[in-house]
Amino acid sequence: MRYFIIAGEPSGDLHGSNLVKHLLKTDPAADIACWGGELMRNEGARLLKHYRETAFMGVLEVLANIRKVKANFSECKRQITEMKPDVVILIDYPGFNLRMARFAKKAGLRVFYYISPKFWAWREGRVRKLKRYADRLYIIFPFEKDFYRRHDFPAIFLGNPLIDHIDAWRATAPDREVIRASLGLDSRPVIALLSGSRLQEVSRILPVMAGVSAGFPDYQFVVAAMDHLPARLYEEVSTAYPVRVITGRTYDLLAVAQAALVTSGTATLEAALFDVPQAVCYSTSPLTYRLAKWVIKVRFISLVNLIMDREVVRELIQAGLNAVSLHRELEEILVTGYRHDRIKADYRELRTILGGGGASERVAADMSDSLVQKKGK
């Protein structure tokens, strides 16, 4: 079978890589092309376009790069037409992928949407487009099933693939002391700073995160840098504040961290699955924030709180993200803080709700079976 996979962000690349691995186990002769990143390429997919060339955040950035956005659409359509895949697999990233779904469907191709866009949070009306263009929809959060049931769209929940990825990492990881030594850390407890994967997020949020480091001299603050972002972004922060910067080793850092300050997104769930108490930090441009407040319909922005349907980790958003609030929250979630043990207990419940491992393998098998059945008709 021929597969064309599109992921526009690091989290999509991560989930796509596990899918690629199991698709090739199920279908060893598969030809898999992708828009994504190194993780999918390392598992055997042909990388046609890196997500760093396609990730634009917010209304203003999209408008500022409109020519490049249009060129990306045209290039992707051309590549799909040339490959003639048996299926186009779209991973989240709705601004781009819904248009690709429409194109692929009109071209007579099968469309599988893997990892639902967050339509339960905003722009619920786009579910109609998803129903029109997607032949199968795979979701990774249990609460999404009820949402799509209300729209008469039978979504498929086979578990959360992030558990597979983290469990696989842990299976081969050395012990904590070896990791600490390999990272060049000193003996102080570690506070991890996960400031996001987009340039605009990091430039706005990381200085605020790093700014609290002076108030905790008995801890070492370490930034989990993204290798696709400019190094100068992190150098400016490490020059201004007493923080270390380590690139491309987020899981190593989480494995030894006592607490974390995390930008909303997949990283909040990763920190939880590594059992690291966290505070969630988010800030964007005033215009984007006002638009978001107008359209977003959920109570929380972090995946941990959304899955648990209550506040497990504190969310510091926009004006609420400042030096005073962040210092206070960090004090509360450290080992000596009163919320530390409560958060860890909630994390155990979270993992139970998400189910066990094997999600990526089950999704790959379901996709393959569906394609085989379709060809057999």
Give, for all 377 residues of the chain, the pLDDT tens digit: 999 999 998 889 989 999 999 999 999 999 999 999 999 999 999 999 999 877 655 555 555 567 787 889 999 999 999 999 999 999 999 989 999 999 999 999 999 999 998 888 777 888 999 999 999 999 999 889 999 999 999 999 999 999 988 998 999 999 999 999 999 999 999 999 999 988 888 999 999 999 999 999 999 999 999 988 999 999 999 999 999 999 999 999 999 999 999 998 889 999 999 999 999 999 877 676 666 665 667 788 899 999 999 999 999 998 899 999 999 999 999 998 999 999 999 999 999 899 878 999 999 999 999 999 887 66
269: three-class secondary structure by DSSP: helix
pLDDT on residue 218: 97
pLDDT value for 164: 87
d(Cα 222, Cα 227) in Å, to the nearest integer?
15
CA dist., res. 250 & res. 51, Å (int): 18
How far is it, in rounded angstroms, from Cα 89 to Cα 367?
Answer: 10
Residues 6+ apart with CB under 8 A from 310: none
User: What is the per-residue pLDDT for 139?
Assistant: 95
Q: Global pTM? A: 0.81
All domains in the chain, ordered by first residue: 2-159+358-376 (3.40.50.2000), 165-354 (3.40.50.2000)
Distance, CA of 108 to CA of 32 (rounded, Å): 19
